[in-house]
Amino acid sequence: MGAKALKALLRPHLAYYPMAYSTPSASALQRATPAKGFAVGLRHGVVLVRRARPALASASKGKRTGSTLRAWALCLIVLCGWPARGSAEEVVVAVNPATPAGEVMARNTLSAIFGMRLRAWENGMPIRVYVLPDNHAVHVAFCKQILGVFPHQYRTAWDRLVYSGTGQAPLEVASEEEMRASLAGTRGEAPVVVGSEEEMRARLAGTAGAIGYLTRKMIDENVTVLPIQ
């Protein structure tokens, strides 16, 4: 079973239900071909799946084709699903304007940075990584859209680094005071988990060598968007 085949198998329901807290965009829904007998719509940010009665009747009579299997998979996903929330804004990689990251960055490099495998910029300046919590819609979107991985994979990799003593992982900061202290530049070598996009932006703007991600609407003159190849 090739990874490509599995990927293809997976893609249809990812498009139906881009699970992670983000509302699927209208275009994503259009791209997905609904399984026979199902109609898919988008209303109030929630994926709606309706049964089209005549089609389902004929589907159940026929043999189990790919589309009926997909329909069952869809049923399962919808039954077990949770309401989508958050925004489907475009997420971009953002850096501190003084960060020596160059004009564009390769996805491989980005993946090494967020996988905590690369700890310094080419000129030796420490890379300061900022992430949002695992369940945050923007973090999920960043992992999936830009890095092409799922948040749980990063969590597993970070845990492995910490508990086998082979690396450090993003650290949750304890309090507002600590955050302010950190913003003032007194500390913050280690990668940090920030609580919100506003905090992320403030951190990126205030820390040389910092890299993180934001939805495009959060970008202002104090942070720089870094295109990813």
Partner 1 sequence: MRTSLFCRFSRGARTAQYVPWWPVLVLWPGLCGPVLALELFEGFQVHGFLSQGYFKTSANNIFGNSDESGSLDFTEIGINASWIPLPRLQLSTQLISRRAGEGADGEVELDVGLADYSFLETAEARFGVRLGRVRLPLGLYNDTRDVPFARPSILLPQSVYPDAARTQQLSADGGMIYGAYHGTWGDLSVELAGVLLQVHNLDTEINFFFQDLPGELDPEPSFIGRMIYEYDGGRLRLAVSGLRAETNYEPRLLPPDDLTAGTNLFEPVIFSAQYNAERWSFTAEYELRFDQSKGFGPLLPDNDIVGEGYYAQAIYRLDPHWEAVLRYDVLYHDRDDRDGTEFKAETGFPANLQFAKDWTVGLRYNITSSLMVRAEYHGVYGTGWVSIRDNDPSMVDKQWDIFALLVSYRF
Binding footprint of partner 1 on the chain (CB under 8 A): 3, 6-7, 10, 14, 19-20, 80-82, 106, 108-109, 111-113, 117-120, 124, 126, 133-135, 144, 147-150, 152-153, 156-157, 159-160, 162-168, 171-175, 187-190
- Separation CA 99–CA 119 (nearest Å): 13
Shortest distance (Å) from residue 197 CB to partner 1: 18
Neighbouring C-beta atoms of residue 125, cutoff 10 Å: 14
Closer CB to partner 1, residue 153 or residue 222? 153
Shortest distance (Å) from residue 158 CB to partner 1: 10
Closer CB to partner 1, residue 54 or residue 124? 124
Residue in 68, 39, 63 with CA at minimum distance from that of residue 53: 39
Contacts of 7 (CB under 8 A, 6+ apart): none
Closer CB to partner 1, residue 107 or residue 217? 107
- Separation CA 33–CA 40 (nearest Å): 9
**Which residues, listed in sequence order, are joined to residue 128 by a DSSP beta bridge?**
210
Closer CB to partner 1, residue 38 or residue 121? 121
Shortest distance (Å) from residue 169 CB to partner 1: 8
Closer CB to partner 1, residue 100 or residue 126? 126
Shortest distance (Å) from residue 213 CB to partner 1: 16
**What's the one-letter identity of residue 21?**
Y
Shortest distance (Å) from residue 188 CB to partner 1: 8
**Which residues, listed in sequence order, are joined to residue 100 by a DSSP beta bridge?**
none
Decide if 129 contacts 113 (C-beta within 8 A): yes
- Separation CA 130–CA 212 (nearest Å): 5
